[in-house]
Amino acid sequence: MSHAIEFYFDFSSPYSYLASEWIEDLASRHGRAVDYRPVLLGAAFKATQQQVLVKVPLKGDYSRRDFARSARFQGLPFVVPEPFPIGTLAAARTFLWLKDARRPEALPFLHAAFRTYFVRGRDISQDPVLHDLWRECGLDPDAVKEAISQPALKEKLKALGDESLARGVFGAPFIFVDGEPFWGNDRLPQIERWLASGPF
Amino acid sequence: MSHAIEFYFDFSSPYSYLASEWIEDLASRHGRAVDYRPVLLGAAFKATQQQVLVKVPLKGDYSRRDFARSARFQGLPFVVPEPFPIGTLAAARTFLWLKDARRPEALPFLHAAFRTYFVRGRDISQDPVLHDLWRECGLDPDAVKEAISQPALKEKLKALGDESLARGVFGAPFIFVDGEPFWGNDRLPQIERWLASGPF
């Protein structure tokens, strides 16, 4: 099997949600696995002096429209949640913990977290919402809280963020295929060609 | 015939060049005309507090790679010119003059200007390059200089820029189809669906 597709994402990124809905199917059609890597875009935006997209004059309004239209284009349900964006530290830590422990709940949690925020519009930075989300995925909230408060896990997420910046990840989704970087949900056609017929 | 597709562009925008190579064919397949509207992105970037793309840390490096890869994806020749970006006032005024006068050289000039900069890598902000470009398009340099120095034409380009900002044009290419805004060369699939089957 060829190298896994590396998929950097933030749970607060609408285009990451949209891409998370096609990446597995695409990968598996080409005999690839997906290596999901949670990052916190706040750090990347700081390092690259970027503003939060929806706060940029004109571009912000367009973006909200484009999020929703891009979702309809893919046939996916979508709401612009309020508040938006949010901090996704707890969700990112939860996913990283599940992934590192090779727990079967990892991937279901990833999709449930995205959908809770971008389909049901519930703020996954809030404790009651997180508790519901964890329980939905068959996880015990006390056990998760204990697991994601471990210093080693916290450090691991931070190290992943530093590594992502060192690799040039300034936004999300940010997808590496055989080391080639593709930024954005709209690079699907290029990724597809790369997987089908190699570098171009 | 339905409404023309409005195509806002800057001659210094690589993605505008790439989109200029497919927009006419796409439009004509759907019975549409293209209304080309030159703008100067510098003003838009100022109004929206954006930096020049290639100067953004990390994002700049990625962008240069993505320009070239996107061109290869479309099967088009491309170089990242030096210097980049450049001021495109004279080229924009030339196009606007030709367009307003309904001169047959308008569209050939548009493509020649893009290709001179992005294929041959020649700096179309420089007088000797502009002179060659004008002559290539069958235009007399003295006549063009006279035409594009008219205050009314200068004002018209400025008014077009102000109008574009009022419509939310913060980047290029920026394409309106039936009033619906689409930003970027990578919105081709969405524009195609809109033209084929209407709003979605």
Mutate to test the interface with A, among B8, B15, B69, B72 (most CBs of A within 10 A): B69
Among all residues of chain B, which has the CA nearest to that of A58? Answer: B168
Q: Which ipTM did the prediction report?
A: 0.95
What percent of chain B has a predicted confidence (pLDDT) above 90?
Answer: 91
User: Which of B49, B73, B181 faces A56 most closely, judged by CB atoms?
Assistant: B49
Among all residues of chain B, which has the CA nearest to that of A69? Answer: B200
Residues in chain A with CB shorter than 8 Å from the CB of B186 are 184, 186-187
User: Which of A73, A170, A193 faces B59 most closely, judged by CB atoms?
Assistant: A170
Tell me if B156 sits within 8 A of B96, measured CB to CB: yes
Question: What average pLDDT does this structure show over B171-177?
Answer: 97
By a Cβ cutoff of 8 Å, what residues of chain A touch chain B?
A: 44, 47-51, 56-59, 61-62, 65-66, 69-70, 72-73, 165, 168-171, 181, 183-184, 186-187, 189-190, 193, 200
Alpha-carbon span B125 to B123, nearest angstrom: 5
Alpha-carbon span A86 to B47, nearest angstrom: 26
Categorize the per-residue pLDDT at B182 as very low, low, confident or very high, splitting at 50, 70 and 90: very high
Tell me if A134 sits within 8 A of A144, measured CB to CB: yes
Over residues A128-172, the pLDDT tens digits come to: 999 999 999 999 999 999 999 999 999 999 999 999 999 999 999
The answer to whether A189 contacts B190, with C-beta atoms less than 8 Å apart, is: no
Global confidence as pTM: 0.96
Alpha-carbon span B196 to B199, nearest angstrom: 9
Answer whether residue A13 shows pLDDT above 70.
Answer: yes
